[in-house]
Amino acid sequence: MVRTGQGPGRPRDSEIDEAVLGAARELLAEVGYAAVTMDAAAARAGTSKAAIYRRYRSKAELLFAAAVHSPAPAPTADTGSLAGDLAALARRVLSDMTTPAAREVAPQVVAEVARSPEAARRLRDVFVSGERAEVDAVLDRATGRGELPTRPDVATVHRVLGGALFFSVFVIGEEPDEAALADVVDLLVAGLTTRSTLPS
Amino acid sequence: MVRTGQGPGRPRDSEIDEAVLGAARELLAEVGYAAVTMDAAAARAGTSKAAIYRRYRSKAELLFAAAVHSPAPAPTADTGSLAGDLAALARRVLSDMTTPAAREVAPQVVAEVARSPEAARRLRDVFVSGERAEVDAVLDRATGRGELPTRPDVATVHRVLGGALFFSVFVIGEEPDEAALADVVDLLVAGLTTRSTLPS
DNA sequence: CGAGTTTCGATACTGGCGTATCGTATGCTG
DNA sequence: CAGCATACGATACGCCAGTATCGAAACTCG
């Protein structure tokens, strides 16, 4: 019994998938999050609201998908040192966060996550795990170089680095400049290279 | 010419101030953020929606005010060490974040902040500056004890600590347990006591 | 080929946030 | 006392997210 992965019934029209996503992207760029209307998105995509809601559970999810272009995040380059790698990673994450689209969409996604456990799961699968994997790779390289006394807990490092960036941009409301970013990374590197991590 | 601080016109009724805030608090606790209605809040407060919107610019701001009880946050106790102080501060902030009300309201406030620069300013005045002052006090004590080689940048420490907590709860979606919290604090302390901070 | 299931477009509908409008009430200022 | 500016209750309204309903189309399985 071969499971084709396709259930019974009429299959989704992939052209509509793209049309919807494209329309959402355009509208988001043109008028901004608040002014995007589901009706307008449907109209521009040449379809109906129902078709959109079959694909996304809310406006926040649609525009989240629209704002996220590259499902293949370029893995952080190997700069040769933990400090360099973390700085590079931090810069990339920060630049992703400060995209016009991301600036508007991310807070809404956080709000959505609070309402829907399912949205929370999806965010974790799409974003959190991806970021964590990148942090993991950086720590792997540093461990390989012998820069670290013990292997730090990935979750901790991710929490601290990602948290500092997210918090700065979306809660404090001021994007850290290059010096502030360096200060955070410096603090993190100093901590990692000094202590022995507690067992998680 | 004495500016009384009260402009012309009929003054606000302070009883309505309290009634609105009380009604909002009750409803928030009873039915949760999403199910709170501005009409219901007005009705329970025995007033009209217009009176509420004269005081708060949105549902998010109303429920934010309703969720924040103590404008006088108990200053963090002096535990005798930087590690102890930071751990205590982290625990308090975390417990504030994980209140049922805060869990629902905080993400909405973040979303609101993205839409309204004015809301952003208010959040900074009410919350960010308060937290930062607490971090500052902790760093002051540590510096006084001679635990730190140089005075760290408050903004950096605040970003890292506050960010790690906020990010964990509201983005990653998992509240850090006692061990995870200890790991973050440990990392932070190791970093602070080791390096010399870059000039901000 | 027929039964069952899902998508599609189209459209109508509900609920709730936020705004606007009135006539009235209440305070300051000259 | 005469403005004048604002707050008040009471609606009414626009706008939009999200849901529901319909007949028709498209695909799978038996």
Question: What is the reported pLDDT for B199?
Answer: 47
Q: What is the mean pLDDT of residues A21-42?
A: 98
Nearest alpha-carbon partner for A161 in A186, A196, A193: A186
What residues of B are in contact with residue A172 (Cβ under 8 Å)? 124, 128, 158-159
Q: How many Cβ atoms sit within 10 Å of the Cβ of residue B140?
A: 12
What does the buried/exposed string (b/e) look like for B101-112 if buried means 16 or more CB atoms within 10 Å of the residue's CB?
bbbbbbbbbbbb
What is the total count of domains within chain A?
2
Residue A60 lies in a domain: no
The mean predicted confidence, pLDDT, of chain A is 93
* In a shared domain, residues B135 and B162: yes
Mutate to test the interface with B, among A31, A154, A159 (most CBs of B within 10 A): A159
Compute the distance between CA of residue A116 and CA of residue A170 in angstroms, rounded to an integer: 20
Chain A window 155-194, residues with Cβ within 7 A of nucleic strand D: none
Using DSSP, state whether A62 is helix, strand or coil. Answer: helix
Question: What is the reported pLDDT for B7?
Answer: 81
Using CB atoms within 10 A of its CB, is residue A143 exposed (0-12), middle (13-18) or buried (19+)?
middle
Q: What is the mean pLDDT of residues B38-60?
A: 98
What does the buried/exposed string (b/e) look like for A85-94 if buried means 16 or more CB atoms within 10 Å of the residue's CB?
bbbbbbeebb
* In a shared domain, residues B164 and B79: yes
Question: What is the reported pLDDT for B195?
Answer: 78
Q: What is the mean pLDDT of residues A46-69?
A: 96
> Which residue's CA lies closest to nucleotide C26 at its C1' atom?
B10
* In a shared domain, residues B27 and B112: no
Compute the distance between CA of residue B160 and CA of residue A168 in angstroms, rounded to an integer: 9
Q: What is the mean pLDDT of residues A130-159?
A: 96
* In a shared domain, residues B46 and B84: no
* In a shared domain, residues A108 and A82: yes
Q: Which of B166, B184, B195 sits opposite A156 (nearest CB)?
A: B184
* In a shared domain, residues A122 and A37: no
Helix B82-97, helix B100-115: angle, nearest 10 = 90
* In a shared domain, residues A95 and A139: yes
A11 touches strand D (CB under 7 A): yes
The CA distances from residue A37 to A34, A101, A105, in Å, are: 8, 16, 14
B36 touches strand C (CB under 7 A): yes
Residue B19 lies in a domain: yes
* In a shared domain, residues A27 and A77: no
Residue A93 lies in a domain: yes
Residue B95 lies in a domain: yes
Mutate to test the interface with A, among B156, B158, B178 (most CBs of A within 10 A): B156
For residue B8, give how far its alpha carbon lies from the nearest alpha carbon of chain A (Å).
34
The mean predicted confidence, pLDDT, of chain B is 93
Q: What is the mean pLDDT of residues A162-175?
A: 98
Structure confidence by residue, pLDDT tens digits, A78-130: 999 999 999 999 999 999 999 999 999 999 999 999 999 999 999 999 899 99
* In a shared domain, residues A42 and A112: no
Question: What is the reported pLDDT for A151?
Answer: 94
* In a shared domain, residues A141 and A188: yes
Residue A136 lies in a domain: yes
Nucleotide nearest to A7 (CA to C1'): D28
Nearest alpha-carbon partner for A200 in B176, B168, B94, B81: B176
Structure tokens at B20: 């609105």
Structure tokens at A11: 């299959």
pLDDT of residue B89 exceeding 70: yes
B49: alpha, beta or left, given left = phi > 0 and alpha = psi -120 to 50? alpha
Say which CATH number the domain at B39 has: 1.10.10.60
Structure confidence by residue, pLDDT tens digits, B118-167: 999 999 998 999 999 999 999 999 999 999 999 999 999 999 999 999 99
Question: What is the reported pLDDT for B150?
Answer: 92
A188 vs B191: CB contact, 8 Å cut-off? yes
Say which CATH number the domain at A101 has: 1.10.357.10
Q: Which of A114, A166, A186 sits opposite B167 (nearest CB)?
A: A166
Residue B82 lies in a domain: yes
Q: Straight-line distance from CA A131 to C1' D15, in Å?
A: 38
Residue B115 lies in a domain: yes
* In a shared domain, residues B155 and B126: yes
Q: What range defines the domain where residue A46 resides?
A: 13-55
* In a shared domain, residues A35 and A78: no
Residue B180 lies in a domain: yes
Using DSSP, state whether A196 is helix, strand or coil. Answer: coil
Q: Which residue has the higher pLDDT, B8 or A165?
A: A165
